[in-house]
Structure 1
Amino acid sequence: MRTRVLPVLIALSTLLFVSACGGATSRNADGNVIKIAGVNLMCFSPAFVAEKLGYFDDEGLDVTIVPTDSGDASVTALLGRSVVAVTTGFDTPIELTGKGQSIQSLAGLEMATIYAFVGGNTFPQIPPNNPQAFVDAMKGKRFGVAASGSTGDSIARGIFAEYGLNPDTDVTIIAVGTGAEASAALRTGSVDALITYEPDLTQITTSGTGRIVFDLRTTTTESTYSKLPTSTLQATTEWINDNPETARALVRAVTRANNTLRDDPATALPVLEELYPDLAPDLVANIYNASRDHFTSEISPQTYDAAMKIYQNTGLITDDVPYEEVVATQFSDIWNLKTSE
């Protein structure tokens, strides 16, 4: 999930993205016609739900969501000004600050982890909800991550270290990609276990390729990495300052969608089934139920500080980045509004 943006790729991708999507039509101050870039995943779904249920329309906004295939592509579009907002990883504004870019989170989306650890069919049987048993079982084995240095890699290394396993010497960590590549690595025994998220998680478990051996989304015994926020709605600081009322309207609409996802499954589920037509309705429901309690707009200083400590411990961040620098706190009065307000 981590966003890593290289200057050359930014320039090339931006040209392609602008060519395909046209320029952002909302660069005028407080314009109401805007484009948002995002990957159509459950962790980014509040923006898509807000569009489907007309919440942006109710705020007087004409919003087009431009689908991308990665957080990198979304951020590239934002920095190239072909969109004015993105749904992407919580850590993105923090990382980009060190690259001289000023991006802020407007509102939270999925404010807890999306990750689970999956073992192959030969992985030892261990008690559920027991991180120590999982880490002990991993000693001397091969473990799969999407990519070296990815958020999943950082979380796995942190969990291993937290429960007494040296991630550099006691386990072999292998980059296996995502989707079919990750599933094949687990099925063939190239790795004994891996860390993953939806929809790969459901596809791996329903196909019989692997089973969940420790779930960070539902654990009651691990209180550090399970609380790491996943995603937020973001825009450049410049655009937020130039368009304060439009930004406020965006936050209201997304907060309403978060409330719907968290508190009103009867309304949310049909929309999610429409968003993910390739998944059976029962699988959509399973994915949603695992994430449902995590949807909230609030980005509290306490949550931010806890995430910063994790990022620093795992080497993602080396310098302190002030909360107010990367979180648009002027919208905090909206974050906890109820749907009816």
Structure 2
Amino acid sequence: MPPFARFTALASTACAILLWTPYAQAEKLTLMTGGATKIVYLPVTLASRLGYFRDEGLDVDILSEPAGVDTATELIAGAVQGAVGFYDHTIDLQSRGLEVEAIVVLARSAGLAELASTKAAKPMQSMADARGRRLGVTGFGASTDFLSRYLAQRAGLPANAYTVVPLGSDNSFADAMKNGSIDAVMVEEPTASKLLAAGTAQVLVDMRSIEGTRLALGGPYASSCLYAQRKWVAAHPDESRRLVRAMVRSLAFIATHSADQIMAVLPRDFVGANESLYRQALAATMPSFSRDGRMPDGAPQTVLGALAAVNPEIVPRHVELSRTYTNRFADEVNAVAAH
């Protein structure tokens, strides 16, 4: 019996997605995430844990790197077939002549919060206080990097008014905030909730919800997604379709199950010692996940606008947004589910 059968039955639409054809031999694929334990990437972990990839005849190996920019690098190098990271990388790569596209969108919020260290001599109260401060990010070129710069710019600060500090892992974030070596940090869940609960941080800008993202960035958004090189998708439409079908099933599972039921599927080290804290962070994040895997209307334009504002090398008129994502596979999956 498939693992998901232990839990509440899916809604009628989700049930239609559960239909699959057995495959004689599993095809090996490798995906890489920008931090597997981050809640924003939860759908790929669930698709693996619930056997959805296996049901599609895929043997998927999931690797993890601290920063999404490293994931993008591995994808372009051909080391992995798919990257589970933020959509903004597809636009950035295209501006540099590298063709990749998101084939399924996972989250409709940025899923991030800019937190100020309460251990700093004079804690920041807003992004306007970033002048002369040290801002922590996962890495140079990461989504946390560009969004930190964009928020500072919107607060009226030039790029040379503050220092960006690449920190890499979640543990480094916690240590830097605790000892006051950085003044603020851009971080995902569950790390954001851990820092806030520890009293080492306070919220400056909250983009963990759809509403908070719209308020901070000015429009609809897309963050975590599964993207691949366009030439790979063109050459492997069936594998792409099966990957998307598994991911949309995973999104349906999130939409029709409680935080406790989802946590029961996850590896123990994902949840950590403080189950109640993780449950709270997960429950708050769940409404931000996509229901259908499609790119939200207007989201590419919002992401491009923010990227171009902080990176003069990205000229909007030279970017073909229609080539940075496709709804083709998600539409096919949802069409089947509707019948």
TM-score of Structure 1 vs Structure 2, range by shorter chain: 0.7 to 0.9
Task: For 1:3-18, list aligned pairs within 5 A.
Answer: none
- Structure 2 counterpart of 1:331, which letter? F
- Residue aligned with 2:304, SS: helix
Displacement after TM superposition at 1:270 (Å):
1.6
Tell me the amino acid that sits aligned with residue 253 of structure 1.
Answer: A
Read off the aligned partner of 1:91 and give its amino acid letter: D
Note closer, same or farther for the CA distance 1:113–1:168 as it changes in structure 2 (3 Å cut).
Answer: same
User: Residues 146-179 of structure 1: CA distance to partner in whole angstroms, max 9, x if unpaired?
Assistant: 245543232233223334x32446x533415143
Residue by residue, what CA displacement relative to the aligned partner does 1:215-247 show, whole Å, maximum 9, x if unpaired? 221455825268442221122222222222221
Quote how far apart the aligned CAs of 1:213 are: 3.8
* 2: CA distance, partners of 1:64 / 1:34: 6
Question: What is the TM-score of this pair, normalised by structure 2?
Answer: 0.75
Partners of 1:114 and 1:197 within 8 A in 2:
yes
Separation in 2, partners of 1:286, 1:226: 26
Residue 313 of structure 1: how far off its partner (Å): 1.4
Query: Residue type matched to 2:233 in 1?
Result: I
Pairs aligned (count): 301
Cα separation, 2, equivalents of 1:181 and 1:223: 26
1:115 pairs with 2:112: yes
Please name the residue that 1:161 is paired with: 153
* Alignment equivalent of 2:191, drawn from 200, 211, 215: 200
Measured after TM superposition, the shift of residue 33 of structure 1 is 0.6
Alignment counterpart, residue 59 of structure 2, candidates 52, 57, 63: 63
Structure 1 residues 226 and 116: alpha-carbon distance in aligned structure 2, compared to 1, 3 A threshold:
farther
> Counterparts of 2:263 and 2:242 in 1: how far apart (Å)?
24
| TM-score (ref. length: structure 1) | 0.75
Measured in 1, the distance between the counterparts of 2:55 and 2:338 equals 13
**Aligned residue for 2:16?**
none
Moved more, 243-252 or 93-102: 93-102
Q: Distance in 2 between matches of 1:176 and 1:82?
A: 24
List aligned pairs for 1:160-239, cutoff 5 A. 160-163=152-155, 165-168=156-159, 171-178=161-168, 179-218=170-209, 220=212, 222-224=215-217, 227-239=220-232
Is the partner of 1:327 in helix, strand or coil? coil
Structure 2 counterparts to residues 28-47 of structure 1, below 5 A: 32-39=26-33, 40=36, 41-47=38-44
Query: Any unmatched runs of 5+ in structure 1?
Result: 1-30, 127-132
Contact 1:261 1:292 in 2 (8 A): yes
Q: Secondary structure at the match of 1:276?
A: helix
Structure 2 CA distance for aligned equivalents of residues 222 and 175 of structure 1: 26
**Cα distance in 1 between the residues matched to 2:203 and 2:336:** 34
Alignment partner of 1:272: what SS?
A: coil
Amino acid at match of 1:308: L
Q: Of 92, 95, 99, which aligns to 1:98?
A: 95
One-letter amino acid matched to 2:274: A
Query: Structure 1 pair 106/283, CA: closer, same or farther in 2 (3 Å)?
Result: same
C-alpha change, 1:302 and 1:81, in structure 2 (3 Å) is same
Which of 254, 260, 264 does residue 257 from structure 2 map onto?
264
Give the Cα separation in 2 of the matches to 1:335 and 1:307. 26
Structure 2 CA distance for partners of 1:149 and 1:238, relative to 1, 3 Å: closer
Aligned partners of 2:306, 2:52: CA distance in 1, in Å?
34
Structure 1: distance between partners of 2:75 and 2:131: 43
Distance 1:317 1:105 in 2: 19
CA RMSD across the alignment: 3.2
Pick one of 82, 85, 91 that aligns with 1:88: 85
Distance (whole Å) between structure 2 residues aligned to residue 250 and residue 232 of structure 1: 12
Tell me, in whole angstroms, the C-alpha distance in 1 between the residues paired with 2:188 and 2:219.
Answer: 13
Residue 205 to residue 65, structure 1, CA distance change in 2 (3 Å): same
Aligned to 2:310: 314
How much has 1:42 moved relative to structure 2? 1.9
Q: Percent identity?
A: 18
Instruction: Quote the residue 1:4 is aligned against.
Output: none
Q: C-alpha distance in 1, partners of 2:307/2:147?
A: 9
CA distance in 2, matches of 1:333, 1:90: 18
Q: How far off its partner does 1:257 sit? A: 0.6
Counterpart in 2 of 1:284? 278
